[in-house]
Amino acid sequence: MNANNNVLLEVEGLRKYFPIQKGLMRRTVGNIKAVDDVNLRVQRGEVLGVVGESGCGKTTLGRCLVRVYEPTGGQVILHTDGRELSVTELNGEEMRLFRRSVQMIFQDPFASLNPRMNVLETVGEPLKVNGLASGRTLEDRVAKVIQQVGLRVEHLRRYPHSFSGGQRQRIGIARALVVEPELIVADEPVSALDVSIQAQILNLLKDLQEQQNLTYIFVSHNMSVIRYISDRIAVMYAGKLVELGPKQELLAHPKHPYTELLLAAVPRAIDRRRGHRIVTPGEPPDLAHLPSGCVFRPRCKYAHERCAEEEPELRELAPGYHVSCHFAEDLSLGGVIPRVKSFPA
Amino acid sequence: MNMQTTNNVLVDVQDLKVQFLLHEGTVHALEGVSFQIQQGKTLGVIGESGSGKSVTAQAIMGIIPSPPGKVVGGRVLLNLPEEGASVRVINVTELPPSGAEIRSIRGKEISMIFQEPMTSFSPVHTLGNQIMEAVQLHYPDVSKKEARERAIEMMRRVGIPRAEERIDAYPYQFSGGMRQRAMIAMSLVCNPRMVIADEPTTALDVTIEAQILELLKDLQKEFGMAIMYISHDLTVVGGVADEVMVMYLGLVMEHAATDELFDNPLHPYTEALWRSIPTIDGDIERLTPIRGVLPSPFAVHQGCPFYSRCEKRIEGVCDQSRPPMIEARPQHWVRCFLYTE
Ligand SMILES: Nc1ncnc2c1ncn2[C@@H]1O[C@H](COP(=O)(O)OP(=O)(O)OP(=O)(O)O)[C@@H](O)[C@H]1O
Ligand SMILES: Nc1ncnc2c1ncn2[C@@H]1O[C@H](COP(=O)(O)OP(=O)(O)O)[C@@H](O)[C@H]1O
Ligand code: SF4
Ligand code: SF4
Ligand SMILES: [Mg+2]
Ligand SMILES: [Mg+2]
């Protein structure tokens, strides 16, 4: 990772542990390491997709980045407005700047909106609480952003219950956009939507990103969605990043055995029957009881003795390409080669 | 409209109409659905939410909640082969829903796997007891010990490690994937002729989904049961089904062998679905969302129900009457005016 003034966010050694408590005294008997020593740099204007199985720590990572969670350790640095904010130790003024620069979109458009607030109040709230606008100006800015996300001004006085799932997700997006942030952390923003609505929201997010040169950290368990939206992909396993690289390269030539497994499991649209869906035994890890050495070892068909003794570090295999496997150089893993044929014609 | 007129037809759904009478209005959940399922074959059913996939499954099982649901037309015939060459034909739609006959079929001849196994298992009984109960319900002569052995054997068969210990565990002690395996074990323990799987992997990770789908295919080879596989995901269905039927607002829009339907989709809705989903190996260019919104479930459609969203609609034709189902290519059925004479 070479330093570069186009870096928007730097994440160093980020950890978030949840204590496991037992008994009446609620004694802490261990930790769930939901995010464990994550290192990342996010470039201004890129879409970084974060993918992994349920429970691997994607949501927790996203929440640490937007300060919904207090990290257990590590650093998050935001470069904004010509300044360098240490996200874990913001003072009042810096906090306001941070809230304006970084916003989040949530998975569940039903749960994430306050049923007693109409669209104007919901979308205008971040402007109000951050003292960015009020009265007429607030209303104008909300009206503008509402139209950007494909809703209409007539919708401003309506309440969430009268909107469909896709429309609610648009409200959530408008609420994130209204402060004109640089970075949006989107946690499974289309997972709760029906397929035909999914496409609308994905296209909307893509257009907004291109038009406004936004930066996204896009979290999803769906590799096909990640492929569509991202420039780079970060693969997470058991609270750790195991592979990080440009999309094309990572999908076609994964370097980590877990990425290979994950890709093999995705149903193919075109190569439906030809050797697709290699079934691998094993289940997602229990974050409270991780194995020694490499976290992926129990499911890894390439594991050697060294994997039990020594934990692999995320290292730079080639410029801009990171992987945490002792044998990344020696393995030749299967990925997905896209089909040239447009499908269906 | 018969897909194939062979004597291997196990389920024969004919012009089935189901409505839900709610105080806000009437939901026309199924508006004349016809299809057949062959013994030992897999029929994939796809469609957006609300298209009637689950109601179709409920109708076959005879479990449409009533009220508010009501079969207002058509029928569901089960052809159950018996000793010798004779076939017992049962009209599910005519049986009292909690009568002895349908109860002897449900769980034994036809069983079901649901999306969320947590809600289909009782949380207060061990998995083992629930699977054993399914055995003893249909085979009263089987002793408790035998039923337990059968349950363990089936749990082992679906890939639950240490089945002889895990049989005494409660559902919450299993992971999502293991619970779904247990659900499959329960659905297969009486060796049914057909299993209806209603989005059985939607709540699971892809890695686990792949395991479950592979397991179902293996079990089908071993036990020869038919499968009706319901999903909203085209790519998932493409990997498991012999034939696929596409539903939209209570109607079958297209029905063909899987390869035929995937290689030559004919219906504008099927094409639109394809263009709207991101895939792992297809063209990565822009997705084309299906325009407009899904009409209200209370709406009554005089013409084609897809009319309001269809790119190829013919004004004055498609909005006037319902398109008929026609065989546009051999064994490839489509409900659309583009293919009528
Ligand atoms: N508030 C919390 N208290 C205790 N444990 C938590 C908390 N939030 C998350 N965890 C645990 O941390 C781990 C990571 O959870 P997280 O929600 O980040 O996963 P995820 O990758 O987003 O999964 P999914 O795909 O299911 O959304 C899990 O083991 C989870 O149970
Ligand atoms: N128990 C019920 N009460 C009222 N309406 C129902 C009920 N079950 C299904 N419906 C309605 O019937 C239609 C088809 O539903 P369903 O078969 O569940 O769709 P899906 O294709 O998503 O499985 C929908 O409009 C749905 O709202
Ligand atoms: S370090 Fe060893 S166990 Fe871990 S992914 Fe690499 S080969 Fe597999
Ligand atoms: S019948 Fe007409 S409206 Fe319906 S799918 Fe065909 S072309 Fe479109
Ligand atoms: Mg999550
Ligand atoms: Mg359903």
Mean pLDDT of B156-178: 87
Nearest C-alpha neighbor of B182 from the set B231, B117, B106? B117
Helix (H) or strand (E) holding B198: strand B194-198
pLDDT tens, residue by residue, B31-52: 999 999 999 999 999 998 889 9
pLDDT band at B174 (very low <50, low <70, confident <90, very high): confident
A194 and B CB contact within 8 Å? yes
Mean of pLDDT over chain A: 90
Of B182 and A272, more confident: B182
Burial (CB < 10 A; 0-12, 13-18, 19+), residue A157, is exposed
3-state SS class at B315: coil
Cα A134 to its chain centre, rounded Å, is 32
Q: What pLDDT does residue A279 have?
A: 66
Ligand 6 mean position, distance from CA B7 (Å): 30
How many angstroms separate the CA atoms of B24 and B88, rounded? 41
d(CA A215, CA A210): 9
**Amino acid at the residue A17:** Y
For chain B, how many residues are written? 341
CB B205 within 8 A of CB A54: yes
A274 touches chain B (CB under 8 A): no
- Distance of alpha carbon B184 from alpha carbon B168, whole angstroms: 17
Q: Which atom of ligand 2 is nearest to the CA of B64?
A: 1
Substitution site in B16, B55, B199, B301 for ligand 2 pocket (most atoms within 8 Å of beta carbon): B55
- Report the pLDDT averaged over residues B132-158: 92
Which residues have C-beta within 8 Å of that of residue A242, sequence separation ≥ 6?
A235, A236, A256, A258, A259, A296, A314, A323, A324, A325
Burial of A218 (0-12, 13-18, 19+ CB in 10 A): buried
Sort out which chain B residues have CB atoms less than 8 A from A225's CB and list them. Answer: 278
Residues of B in Cβ contact (< 8 Å) with A202: 278, 287
What mean pLDDT value characterizes chain B? 91
Percentage of the residues of chain A whose pLDDT score is greater than 70? 94
Min distance B101 CA to chain A CA atoms (Å): 38
Q: What is the pLDDT of residues A310-336, one digit of tens each?
A: 999 999 999 999 999 999 999 999 999
Helix (H, G, I), strand (E, B) or coil at A49: strand
Contacts of B5 (CB under 8 A, 6+ apart): none
Q: CB under 8 Å to A78, separation ≥6 — which residues?
A: A8, A9, A84, A85, A87, A98, A101, A102, A183
Instruction: Please spell the DSSP secondary structure of A51-113, one letter per residue.
Output: E--TTSSHHHHHHHHTTSS--SEEEEEEEETTEEEEGGG--HHHHHHHHHHEEEE-S-TTTSS
Q: State whether the beta carbon of B246 lies less than 6 angstroms from ligand 2.
A: no
Question: Most A CBs within 10 Å: which of B173, B175, B199, B207, as the mutation test of the A interface?
Answer: B207
Beta bridge pairs of residue A75: A12
CB contact (8 A) between residue B277 and residue A197:
no
Q: Find out whether the beta carbon of B65 lies less than 6 Å from any atom of ligand 2.
A: yes
Q: From the CA of A187, which ligand is nearest?
A: 5
Contact A269 B282 (CB under 8 A): yes
Using CA atoms, how far apart are residues B105 and A189, in angstroms rounded to an integer? 42
Tokens 């204590």 correspond to A19
Arithmetic mean of pLDDT, A299-304: 94
Residue A16 has pLDDT above 80, yes or no: yes
Most confident range, picked from A122-131, A285-294, B109-118: A122-131
The single-letter code of the amino acid at A257 is P
Q: Which residues of B touch A155 (CB under 8 A)?
A: none
| Binding site membership of B312 for ligand 4 (Cβ less than 6 Å) | yes
- Closest residue to atom 2 of ligand 1, CA basis: A18
For A30-51, the pLDDT digits (tens) are: 888 999 999 999 999 999 999 9
All residues of chain B having their beta carbon less than 8 Å from the beta carbon of residue A227 are 278, 280, 284
- Residue range B204-214, pLDDT digits in tens: 888 888 888 88
A166 contact residues in B (CB cutoff 8 A): 293
Q: Is the CB of B29 under 6 A from ligand 2?
A: yes
Q: Is A279 in CB contact (< 8 Å) with chain B?
A: yes
B291 CB within 6 A, ligand 4: no
pLDDT of residue A333: 94
Tens of pLDDT, residue by residue over A141-154, are 999 999 999 888 99
Interval A179-197 mean pLDDT = 90
Distances (CA, A) of A297 to A57, A325, A331: 18, 10, 15
pLDDT of residue B6: 52
Residue at token pair 């300044």: A83
Which residues, 6+ apart, have CB-to-CB distance to A12 below 8 Å? A39, A74, A75, A76, A77
d(C-alpha B272, C-alpha B265), whole Å: 10
